Structures are given as structure tokens and as C-alpha cells.
């Protein structure tokens, strides 16, 4: 292997944003970072759906519903 052409390999701490688990990995990144899910909380490994996703879907639906109501109310005001 030639010297001084490869990035520095080091260990960093990765934190799961969903469950808070921390683990150490080897990488060429210079600082610690977060990941949205890890093997401790990912649905493929646990067999459970993430509650966070359910809440997000409901919130998105409610926002769309509210926007549709506002648009409909705006159209009625223009006609009448």
C-alpha cells in the first residue's frame, strides 16, 4: 500500500436517533454522527413497526385534510 494517499481510518461513536443506542464503528469520517435507525430498533430486526412512523403518517394526513378544508372554504367564499 502506498503511503500518504489513503484517508485516515479511525473509530467514531454512532448514536441512533430513534432509540438512543450508541456503538463504535471504524470509518474515515472525522467526527461522531447519528443514524435514524439501528439494528436494535429497525423493524426488519425487531418485527415491530416504529411508532414514530405512525405518528408522522397521521400528522401528514391531518395537514392535508386541513389544507383541503381551507381550499374548499376559499372556493365557497369566491362563489358567494
Quick one: pLDDT at residue 15?
Answer: 92
Range of lowest pLDDT (17-21, 50-54, 72-76): 50-54
Whether residues 33 and 1 fall in one domain: yes
Alpha carbon 15 to chain centroid distance? 13
Q: Per-residue pLDDT for 52 more than 60?
A: no
Whether residues 44 and 22 fall in one domain: yes
Whether residues 44 and 54 fall in one domain: no
Quick one: pLDDT at residue 53?
Answer: 61
Task: Kindly report, residue by residue over 26-38, the tens digit of the pLDDT.
Answer: 999 888 988 888 8
Query: Could you tell me the pLDDT band of residue 14, with boundaries at 50, 70 and 90?
Result: very high
DSSP string, 3-22: TTSSPPPEEEEEEETTT--E
Into how many domains does the chain fold?
Answer: 2
Interstrand relation of 22-27 and 10-16 (parallel, antiparallel or unpaired): antiparallel
Whether residues 43 and 54 fall in one domain: no
Domain of 79, in residue numbers: 49-80
Quick one: pLDDT at residue 50?
Answer: 59
Whether residues 55 and 43 fall in one domain: no
Range of lowest pLDDT (5-9, 46-50, 65-69): 46-50
Amino acid at each position: 500500500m502506498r503511503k500518504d494517499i489513503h484517508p485516515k481510518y479511525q473509530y467514531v461513536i454512532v448514536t441512533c436517533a430513534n432509540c438512543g443506542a450508541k456503538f463504535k464503528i471504524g470509518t474515515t469520517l472525522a467526527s461522531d454522527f447519528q443514524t435514524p435507525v439501528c439494528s436494535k430498533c429497525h423493524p426488519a430486526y425487531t418485527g415491530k413497526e416504529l411508532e414514530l412512523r405512525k405518528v408522522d403518517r397521521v400528522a401528514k394526513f391531518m395537514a392535508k385534510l386541513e389544507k383541503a378544508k381551507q381550499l374548499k372554504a376559499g372556493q365557497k367564499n369566491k362563489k358567494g
